[in-house]
């Protein structure tokens, strides 16, 4: 089982490939916490996950203004949350965050550092870091023992 890995992405296809590798290891109930600056590729990473799970990547968009998007895939439902505009637990409660964690899908949280105290102890951190104009470092790290 993957515990920590680092990848260099030089293209959208590279980012999607890394997401696809992670998607093959996902189980119902997994939570993915995405970290990275604006434009680092968090939503693109989510597109790669959805596509690898059998969904339509074209359906994936940043949930900044809606807070939550739900994507049905061939294997797992993906609940995509953007915490950028969330100010705390009340905002997450409004979208049923606790209930989402109990579903048999995968919860993906962009800007996860804004709600870090609300994430389960067992989750997957994915950090996307700019490395110049055309490259990103993607670090995947599992916290705790996941299913």
**Domains of the chain with bracketed CATH:** 4-143 (3.40.50.300)
Residue whose pair of structure tokens reads 């590279």 in the numeric block: 14
**Is the model's pLDDT at 141 over the cut of 70?**
yes
Q: Please give the model's pTM, rounded to 2 decimal places.
A: 0.90
pLDDT of 52 reads 96
Categorise residue 64: left if φ over 0, alpha if ψ from -120 to 50, beta otherwise.
alpha
Residue-wise pLDDT for 105-135, tens only, equals: 999 999 998 888 888 989 999 999 999 888 9
Token representation of residue 117: 């105290």
Phi, psi of 102 (to 5 degrees): -90, -5
Average pLDDT of span 26-50: 93
Token representation of residue 103: 């579903």
pLDDT of 1 reads 47
Confidence class for position 2, pLDDT limits 50, 70, 90: low
- The H or E element containing residue 77 is none
CA distance 11 to 44: 10
| 126 in Cβ contact with 33 (< 8 Å) | yes
- The H or E element containing residue 70 is strand 68-71
Residue whose pair of structure tokens reads 């048999």 in the numeric block: 104
């Amino acid at each position: 089982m993957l515990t920590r890995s680092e990848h260099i992405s030089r293209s959208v296809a590279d980012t999607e490939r890394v997401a696809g590798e992670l998607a093959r290891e996902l189980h119902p109930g997994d939570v993915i916490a995405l970290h990275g600056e604006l434009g680092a590729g968090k939503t693109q990473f989510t597109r790669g996950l959805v596509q690898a799970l059998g969904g339509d990547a074209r359906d994936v968009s940043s949930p900044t203004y809606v807070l939550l998007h739900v994507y049905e895939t061939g294997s797992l439902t993906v609940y995509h949350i953007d915490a950028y505009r969330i100010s705390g637990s009340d905002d997450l409660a409004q979208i049923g965050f606790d209930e989402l964690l109990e579903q048999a899908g995968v919860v993906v949280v962009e800007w996860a550092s804004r709600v870090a105290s609300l994430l389960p102890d067992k989750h997957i951190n994915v950090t996307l870091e700019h490395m110049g104009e055309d490259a990103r470092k993607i670090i995947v790290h599992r916290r705790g023992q996941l299913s």
